[in-house]
Structure 1
């Protein structure tokens, strides 16, 4: 992804959004250090707001900021990734039961609209749009539970998982399966079937873990080997 000049919205929001997209879409590899000077030129900003954005992305779990080294792409271990999926799944299945009771017609209509947009992105092969809408549907279901604490925890977990999940959305069969599962979730929500919705969300998250498991393991092992090799050369 090539950066575009900052022209709208707040400077802070634009920098965050663009760098986050670059990280998620794989512009830099595991543990690669972000080129600050190059980014300031591409974005047309100074180093101060850029570094503030990098601190936020570090807090979100996408980067590691190290003194004298700079900000580098954070690599998740298989154990940490598994824990993230488990935690997100527990929040989603618990929120499902609340959402069935508390979701307003407007909230259900919004989830339906997000689902329709995701279908369009799916049919047109727009991977980034499909992924973003997929995530927004999950967040909207949790949001319909009417519990801001759960929503905040859930959003933080999804952010930390975002890079590895996007990296594993390149297989057509996974898109097909996710579309079917999301359609079933929407039906369960509209039918006010709490047990069914909770079960589907839990299953969906478990399948998500299975899709990323091998990628995460291989990336982590490669990054560890590279780190050992770099240390040996120093």
Structure 2
């Protein structure tokens, strides 16, 4: 097995990793299989595993796919979401804003991701929710790496504020449009990072 912290040249035996985590080698191997299936690791027979550096076109397609799911789900959510579900999304959004104000990058990112997941969940369509979560997992590292851009934080927050207003007024068409724009802007925010990483891989 190989190091998965960016250094893909030094061997990292699964035994060593299992000892550091305090678990047996079996769950380590299973975790690698899952991460590989989700497109986060690249596994080569008898060579080990490394972080999968995705090309810019693939990342763009991930954003397009996630955006398509979120826009479709948002219209269903407007029709099907309970007041309690909308209140939970609002609460999560408020936690994201609070994290932004104190520059808490990790919490901001988690709450941001959760808002998107909750909107899709409010559509009450298990298939959409399952595919969406898998896409978010594949996009996670790239999206998190770009949260160190203060300007990107501010722009994304403004987009979320508009989305929340559309949700609270149950304006499905507006919410779908805003989500589509938000995901396209998300791709624009990560594009340079992805291209640079791919060129240097």
TM over 0.5: yes
**SS, match of residue 71 in structure 1:** strand
Change (3 A) 1:173 1:67: same
Match of 1:163 among 130, 141, 144: 141
Provide closer, same or farther for how the CA distance between residues 194 and 63 of structure 1 changes in structure 2, counting only shifts above 3 A.
same
**Contact 1:33-1:71 within 8 A present in 2 as well:** no
Q: Which residue of 2 aligns with 1:112?
A: 90
Q: 1:139 to 1:66 in 2, by over 3 A?
A: same
- Comparing 199-208 with 62-71, greater Cα deviation is found at 62-71
List, as ranges, runs of 4+ consecutive aligned residues in structure 1 with deviation greater than 4 Å. Answer: 30-34
| Alignment of 1:179 onto 2:157 | yes
1:28 aligned partner: 5
Q: Work out the number of aligned pairs and report it.
A: 198
Q: Distance in 1 between matches of 2:123 and 2:131?
A: 13
TM-fit CA distance, 1:141 = 0.4
Given the alignment, which residue of 179, 191, 194 partners 1:213?
191
Equivalent in the alignment of 2:117: 139
Counterparts of 1:137 and 1:115, CA distance in 2: 6
Classify the secondary structure of the residue corresponding to 2:5: coil
Local SS of the residue matching 2:124: coil
1:33 and 1:73 in contact (8 A); partners too: no
For the residues of structure 1 that align with 2:88 and 2:25, how far apart are their CA atoms? Answer: 39
How far has the Cα of 1:41 moved from its partner? 2.5
2:181 match? 203
Contact 1:82 1:209 in 2 (8 A): yes
Deviation at residue 150 of structure 1 after TM alignment: 0.7
- Give TM-score, length-normalised by structure 2: 0.93
Look up the SS of the partner of 2:35 in the other structure. helix
CA root-mean-square deviation: 1.7
Which structure 2 residue ranges, 5 or more long, are not aligned? Answer: none
Given that 1:92 and 1:198 are in contact with CA atoms closer than 8 Å, whether structure 2 keeps it comes out as yes
Q: Deviations over 1:11-44 (max 9, x none)?
A: xxxxxxxxxxxx9xxx711756772343222211
Residues 1:74 and 2:52 are matched in the alignment: yes
